[in-house]
Chains A and B, each alone.
Chain A
Amino acid sequence: MFRQVKRKTTGRRNFEESVSGDIQQKLEGLYQHRLSFYDIPPLQEITLEDFETWSIDRLKLLIEIESCVARSKSLKDIEASIRPLLLKYLPMNSSGDACLRERMKDHYSHFILRLVFCRSEDLRKKFIKNEGILFRIRYNLLQPKEQQEFIESNSDKLVWKFITNEEKLDKFDQLYNASGLLIKNTLMNDNPGIEFTNEQIKTHIKTKENFIKLPFEKVANLVSSRSIYLYQGYAYIPSSLQLNLIATEFQDSLNTMLLRTFQTLPRLEEDDRILPLLNNLSSNFSNIQYDNFNNIDPSLVSDINHQSIQTPTIIQHYPLCSKILQQNLSLNSHLKYAGRQQLGLFLKGIGLNVDEALKFWSIQFTKKISMEKFNKDYKYNIRHNYGLEGARINYKPWDCATILSKPKPGKGEFHGCPYRDLSVDNLITNLNELGIEDQHQINEIIDDVGKRDYTIACTRVFEITHAKQLNQQQQKVAEGMHINHPNLYFDRSRQLERSLEKKEASV
């Protein structure tokens, strides 16, 4: 017992304030560019405070990217909404006093988040995707000269060859026929408003464009769209597409590194200072991502049972989609398949266990049908959702993307997203019932719906209906915090209520 405590503290040194000149030089060597493949892990000591703030700042950026992706914005739009945040959280000046510290922050925060995100396939995928986008955005922000330098300094990783001018002219027709359109699009993107004739494109290829030759496996997406020339297992791609390649390389190597980090993680978990921080960070992200339903805190769901979920105390926290399902279930004592799935899994997500679920559904349904019929036709399905039948998959509650991807509700069906599926009049009636009567607010919501930003509409509704609590909390809705999961809506609503109760109790 004593021994263990001792072991934990041995080898722990306090942070040394001053950075010696020697280290200073080393750092400058490490941080030559404003962009990095993050090959070398950081070795200098930092304070716990830096550790925390740096990683949270980077996390905020990644969350914003994730939420942009969820709204399926284009890279250009993401760039526009990320830029101000980038200046705020992860500035990267090309020179200046702060420059070195900025790069250190970038470097450290990336590696800290690797520790956070290496733990599951899901998290790794998200991290790689979002870091990849961040990488692209930053590459585009570099000066052309910097881009060139960056590529040169990483030439060992980027193993591709430029073809000779002879080869280019020799294969000119094929290259033009395969990639002409692609080159045209890049040119038009770079020079908005200018039209290019085919002849101009041809001259451009002859005089300016370089081609890179590399194994076709590296550029699968370009192969499938038939927009590059293939010869003997090599893909010939215009050098203007280089960023795609670099970004792929970045993501591939990040994937390998994350797996490696994951394997060495157990050793690190002995550090009792860092572990809670990391756990906190990852739960922050999963809150936003809502995939923490697997570790429901039992103390928080003790009041969830088949009776309580029919009372306003619980139902008031439901998002509109679940509310409508619940209403129609009570009204008809029945729901069709997709509705049962959507509501059933939502209830599972808020903590209703399988026994309570069976009670809940049977009480609802047996108002119209016999218990025998219920057992025969519906019981299996409910147990199946809880992973007790068939393939025994522990199904997750549907997130907004899943709900939006399902077929729209037909006659007599009530699943789906009300912001998408209800008529405007019907939606307004429902909003009124939620207590939203201000015409301006309603118009904003309808605007979002018109733009097909259904999850933003839902987030707006949350903010309006919880304005009082949010104000009392003096807690502004976190930037980019946006509802993309019905259970997230529920959890956040309950959280707000709870923290208010606590506050009142303590007063």
Chain B
Amino acid sequence: MTQDLEEPQGQAIQNTYESQTQPQGQKWKPSSADMQHYYERLLPFRYVFQWLSHSPKPTKDFTMREFAYEHRSGAYQRYNSFESQEEFKKSVVNANPTRFEIGAVYTVNPKERRNLPKNALKPISKELVFDIDLTDYDDIRTCCQGTDICMKCWKFIRVGSKIIESALRDDFGFKHLVWVFSGRRGAHCWISDSRARNLDELTRKAIVEYMDVLSSIRGNNKFMKKIKKPYHPHVERSFNYLKQEFIDIILEDQEPWLTSSTTPKDAKAWTQIEELLSFIPEKSLQIELRNKWINQNSLSTSKTKWEDINEVAKRVLKTQIQVLQLNEAKKDIIIYYMYPRLDVEVSRQMIHLLKSPFCIHPGTGNVCVPFDPSKNISNNSEDDEYGFNPTTAPNLKLIQSELEEWDRKPKNSNENENEKRLADYEKTSLKPYIDYFAKFVNELIKEELSGKRSREDDSLEF
């Protein structure tokens, strides 16, 4: 560290970055004191509060909202609720949980439920949420497995979030939605439009099923591997986007079908090749392709295999209809390999709890920052081309050293004056993310308040 100090500032931060992006194996886990400090000084309670209250003041949407703590001991404490932003912050600081989660708004104050009849506590509203997790991609990911992620497989989340977002905005007409990094290997989407918050579970289920295009082709159903044709406008739009990314993400990055003469027969690649073949409508073509690939002695990439399909088809397929069917099957394959894989239960159940934005992931120390799936907001120009980069996203350790750095920095008295007014987070790389969230919350509140006013106006007419 002393060495770092003597070096120019930019360099020092660069170094901390590097220590962050080191191999996934040796992760740093925040201690109880780290968390205490973070809750006291950094977590933007104000915006989280306003986001849930839909107003700068406490409303029922906030006071009747359930919060749950996951304690360091592993205990899980449900049904906390708070009267105000101050109480909210105080309680979190005191309890110092490893993370806290957000549940539904209930008919009564969740913390008072013990004094009330059992059926008095009914969920009435909650943000509509979506959850994409990279573990659901393990059968097609070749770069990482389990809890690991890298910039290659995060691209699945990137395309997934774009597809979900366009359906939510264009088809369902939702406006106020925010994506949040889950801290390790996934992302959550929170939709805060009042219409979305008040959906019943049946309609939530219908929306997820609408999105869950893969349900008909995933699983054991080997005979019906087809998506309904003609594609529904949502599927068509998703396909048009996915086909631009297919070469980059699947054929080049992931290489799911890469084989050589030494690839063992039980390798994942062969399972994936069988998966690929199961989409091919013509039996004879399936057999030809399989034989060709099994008997290949040299290295055979996914790209050549993808081209092989057309190559061999030219010989094997006789009729125009067969060619058409093959082309449709290839479209299905592209969708199968990249369409977002959703956790249905999270979205369906109103009472489902989900980690709050700006929590710290207890296993990685990463901050669950909101991000913009369409562009990079980190102020780190290296990621501009890539978009949100989870491997360089703010981490508690990084933020702590940024704060230390700031305090050690020699300042002249003028700057000192300005600095006093700065909130702690503004001295760290958290700033752009909190600003982004604040903007989102402000827009939501603005609409919420104008909506309320117009509703009140309406009621005057009667």
Which residues on A are within 8 Å of B, measured CB to CB? 174, 176-178, 180-181, 216-217, 220-221, 223-227, 229-234
Contacts and interface: CB of A to CB of B under 8 A. Distances in A.
A226 B205 contact: no
A181 B202 CA distance: 24
A223 B233 CA distance: 12
Contacts of B231: 177
Contacts of A178: 232-233
Given A230-B171, A232-B170, A233-B195, A176 B230 contact: yes
Interface in B205-235: 205-207, 209-210, 213, 228, 230-235
A227 B210 CA distance: 9
Contacts of A230: 171-172, 210, 233-234
22 contacts: A177-B233, A177-B236, A216-B172, A216-B203, A217-B199, A220-B203, A220-B205, A220-B206, A223-B206, A223-B207, A223-B210, A224-B207, A226-B210, A226-B232, A229-B232, A230-B210, A231-B170, A231-B171, A232-B171, A232-B173, A233-B174, A233-B195
Nearest to A221: B206
Nearest to B230: A177
Contacts of A227: 232
Given A221-B206, A224-B206, A224-B210, A174 B233 contact: yes
A217 B172 CA distance: 10
| Closest A-B pairs by Cβ, 9 of them | A233-B173, A224-B209, A220-B206, A224-B206, A230-B171, A232-B173, A223-B206, A177-B230, A174-B233
Contacts of A233: 172-174, 195
Interface of B: 170-174, 195, 199, 202-203, 205-207, 209-210, 213, 228, 230-236
Contacts of B195: 233
Contacts of B234: 226, 230
A181 B207 CA distance: 20
Contacts of B213: 226
Nearest to A174: B233
Contacts of B202: 220
B203 A217 contact: yes
A180 to B, nearest CB: 7
Contact of B205 (A174, A176, A224, A229): A224
Contacts of A231: 170-171, 173
Contacts of B236: 177
Given A223-B206, A233-B195, A180 B170 contact: no
Q: Which of A181, A226, A230 has the most CB of B within 10 A?
A: A226
A18 to B, nearest CB: 42
A391 B234 CA distance: 44
A229 B203 contact: no
A229 B231 CA distance: 11
Given A226-B235, A230-B171, A180 B206 contact: no
A230 B230 CA distance: 16
A226 B174 CA distance: 18
A216 B167 CA distance: 13
A472 B390 CA distance: 81
A340 B213 CA distance: 42
A181 B228 contact: yes
A179 to B, nearest CB: 9
A232 B207 CA distance: 14
B314 to A, nearest CB: 27
A230 B209 CA distance: 14
A223 B173 CA distance: 14
Nearest to A229: B233
Nearest to A222: B206
Nearest to B233: A174
Contacts of A181: 228
B259 to A, nearest CB: 36
A500 B205 CA distance: 53
Nearest to A220: B206
B165 to A, nearest CB: 14
Nearest to A228: B232
Contacts of B235: 226
A227 B231 CA distance: 10
Contacts of A225: 209
A173 B234 CA distance: 12
A95 to B, nearest CB: 41
Contacts of A180: 230
Given A217-B199, A221-B206, A224-B209, A177 B170 contact: no
Nearest to B235: A226
Contacts of B228: 181, 226
A124 to B, nearest CB: 15
Nearest to A223: B206
A76 B213 CA distance: 30
A84 B199 CA distance: 41
Contacts of A224: 205-207, 209-210
B109 to A, nearest CB: 23
A234 B210 contact: no
B233 A234 contact: no
Contacts of B209: 223-226
A177 B203 CA distance: 22
Contacts of A234: 173
A287 to B, nearest CB: 27
Nearest to B234: A226
A225 B235 CA distance: 12
Nearest to A219: B206
Contacts of B172: 216, 230, 233
Nearest to B173: A233
A221 to B, nearest CB: 7
Contacts of B230: 176-177, 180
A251 to B, nearest CB: 13
A435 to B, nearest CB: 46
Contacts of A176: 230
A220 B230 CA distance: 21
Contacts of A217: 199, 203
Contacts of A220: 202-203, 205-206
A225 B228 CA distance: 10
A161 to B, nearest CB: 16
Nearest to A215: B195
Nearest to B236: A177
A177 B210 CA distance: 15
Contacts of A223: 203, 206-207, 209-210
Nearest to B204: A220
Given A177-B230, A233-B174, 6 more contacts: A216-B203, A224-B206, A225-B209, A226-B232, A226-B235, A231-B173
B42 to A, nearest CB: 37
B37 to A, nearest CB: 41
A68 to B, nearest CB: 24
Contacts of A221: 206
A177 B234 CA distance: 10
B366 to A, nearest CB: 34
A225 B203 CA distance: 12
A221 B236 CA distance: 21
A220 B204 CA distance: 9
Contacts of B210: 223-224, 226, 230
Contacts of B171: 230-232
B122 to A, nearest CB: 13
A174 B228 CA distance: 14
Nearest to B212: A224
A490 B407 CA distance: 82
Nearest to B203: A220
Contacts of B173: 231-234
B163 to A, nearest CB: 14
A489 to B, nearest CB: 33
Nearest to B209: A224
A190 B453 CA distance: 49
A221 B205 CA distance: 9
A286 B172 CA distance: 42
A178 B232 CA distance: 5
B118 to A, nearest CB: 11
